[in-house]
Amino acid sequence: MSETHARLGERDLFEDLEARSYLAHCAVAPLSRPVRAAVERALGDYGRLGLGAVGPWVEERGRLRTRLARLIGAGRPEDVALTGGTTAGIVALAQCLPWRPGDAIVLLRGEFPTNVTPWLQAARQHGLDVRWLEAEDFRPGGPGLERLESTLREGAVRLVAVSAVQFQSGLAMPLAAMADLAHAHGALLFVDAIQAAGVTPIDVRTTGIDLLACGGHKWLGALEGAGFLYAAPQHVDTLMPNVAGWLSHEDPLGFLFGGPGLLRYDRPIRARIDFVEGGSSSSVGFAALSAAVELVEELGVEAIARHVAAFHERVAPALVALGFVDGRTPEPEGRSGILSFRPPPDLDLSAVRLGLAERGVVVTAPDGWLRIGPHWCTPLAEAELVTAAVHEVCALLRA
């Protein structure tokens, strides 16, 4: 096996990672050796060749589109655009959807602001009605779907925006059921996939997802500032090219290389979602993303999900025994790569997180949750040192 191949439960591709157990893949991923090598190749090519490096790395973006389309079950690479991350993709959609005054959008309280702020800005610009639901109501057996249907029956809803996985609790949302309800009432389903892609299987076609945005710096294992956007092909023609730039035209480069008299401003905007790629973007970032997605493909998202779930099962009982409240649903369909806990009332969460960090265990603590995010490279044996560290920190804080 090549030294650049990924193996479940092996962190040998992360030889510089200092943490004894790095459980913050749901925040920012450490970079693996193949990803770093891809970045170094891109930098080296630009250093040696300058302009000559552009063509080969544009070709690499084509391979990246193909990988991303496979990752999310999209039909064609041309249904995927490369972006600066999740926010860039959502902002583009919020500006390009053909809103009408009086249209409504459905947003969820509890979502990360990335999937709220751009839609609120669109609502202010276009006079949209914002209808709020509670993300935690969508736990299996909860009232979320019933309340969504009731909201849709009020009429005028143009779009339902949801994260595939909730960033605090790790709740995996019922995307297929939400898509069915949205479509039955003439609405689109948009999905923020950043807490799912790379660790939780996604299939946009079988699920019925209309639009999706994602960044690469969490579970995909790439750099910040590189991501992608998906639009089902039947919706692309309805989008207004309000974020188009010079590279959004058909044949945008012809005037640079084809001789005199070819500079024109009336070339049509591409009728593909990649019209949002309006200007120069980071070849280094996309080089990293391509190498990272290749590793995920090599292992398979389903296998990664099983490995992460096995780590969760080794850690969760010990924390529950210490008084932490497991945020997962009993039902497997509501679970994800994130394992979150509410701390017991006698423990300060910040102190717990800092105490774990001092012992080499890196976790995150957003908005009152202790959040554990292992990945394919996390050895199952690390569960023992994590639980031991939690026991030690809790004993110290309770002394």
Provide, rounded to the nearest whole percent, the portion of the chain with pLDDT above 70.
99
Q: What is the pLDDT of residues 304-357, one digit of tens each?
A: 999 999 999 999 999 999 999 999 999 999 999 999 999 999 999 999 999 999
CA distance 13 to 6: 7
Residue 292 in tokens: 């990272």
pLDDT band at residue 1 using 50, 70 and 90 as cut-offs: very low
CA distance 388 to 373: 17
Domain 21-31+300-398 top-level CATH class: alpha beta
Assess whether pLDDT exceeds 90 at residue 259.
Answer: no
- Mean predicted confidence (pLDDT) in 7-30: 97
List every span in the chain annotated with CATH 3.90.1150.10.
21-31+300-398
Q: What is the pLDDT of residues 61-88, one digit of tens each?
A: 999 999 999 999 998 999 999 999 999 9
Place of tokens 């080296």: 44
Nearest to 189 by CA among 235, 144, 153: 235
Q: What is the pLDDT of residues 354-391, one digit of tens each?
A: 999 999 999 999 999 999 999 999 999 999 999 999 99
pTM comes to 0.96
Domain 41-296 has CATH 3.40.30.10: no
> In degrees rounded to 5, what are phi and psi of residue 304?
-60, -45
Percent helix, strand and coil across the chain, each rounded to 5?
45, 15, 40
Contact 301, 283 (CB under 8 A): no
List every span in the chain annotated with CATH 3.40.640.10.
41-296
Instruction: Check residue 2 and give its pLDDT.
Output: 41
H or E stretch at 345: none
Instruction: Check residue 3 and give its pLDDT.
Output: 57
Nearest to 107 by CA among 36, 29, 163, 174: 163
Provide, rounded to the nearest whole percent, the portion of the chain with pLDDT above 90.
97
Computed over every residue of the chain, the mean pLDDT equals: 96
Number of H helices and number of E strands within the chain? 13, 12
Residue 389 in tokens: 């560290």
